[in-house]
Amino acid sequence: MPGPGLREPRWELAQNALINHPEVLEAAVIGVPDKQWDERPLAGSRITADALKAYLTGGVAKWWIPERWAFIEDIPKTSVGKFDKKVLRATHKKGAIEVHTTREP
């Protein structure tokens, strides 16, 4: 079974699509554990989940559309300015990120 983050390049396509939304300044997508699929995307942004799901529908594969959304003020970054997904995953694992769940992508 792959560990968290091993499938993240797949989620980057959804992340890039979210960043192209005209109202999104920043967005990060990480893989989080899922009972049915082993791992599914968790997207973080500042816009509603419904608006982002509608934006992604038809633009990316259905299974890349997250059912879990987190709305955060600042996405942590590394010293070179990239999204620090290790910090996001650790923060999620501690339960310190409020996650909103939607069922149908």
What's the number of CA atoms in the CB half-sphere (13 Å) around residue 22?
Answer: 0
Residue 25 or residue 79, greater confidence: 79
What are the tens digits of pLDDT across the range 51-100?
A: 888 888 888 888 888 888 888 888 889 999 888 989 988 998 899 988 88
The model's confidence at residue 46, banded by pLDDT at 50, 70 and 90, is low
**All structural domains of the chain with their residue ranges:** 23-29+47-69
The DSSP element (H or E) to which 16 belongs, if any, is helix 8-19
The answer, yes or no, to whether residue 1 has pLDDT greater than 50, is no
Q: With 0.75 as the threshold, say if the pTM is over it.
A: no
Query: Encoding tokens for residue 42?
Result: 């968790």
The answer, yes or no, to whether residue 6 has pLDDT greater than 60, is no
Q: Quickly count helices (H) and strands (E) in the chain.
A: 3, 4
CA 32 to chain centre: 9
Residue 48 CB neighbours (<10 A)? 13
DSSP state for residue 60 in the 8-state scheme? B
What's the number of CA atoms in the CB half-sphere (13 Å) around residue 26?
Answer: 13
The model's confidence at residue 5, banded by pLDDT at 50, 70 and 90, is very low
Q: E strands, 2-99, where?
A: 28-34, 38-45, 68-71
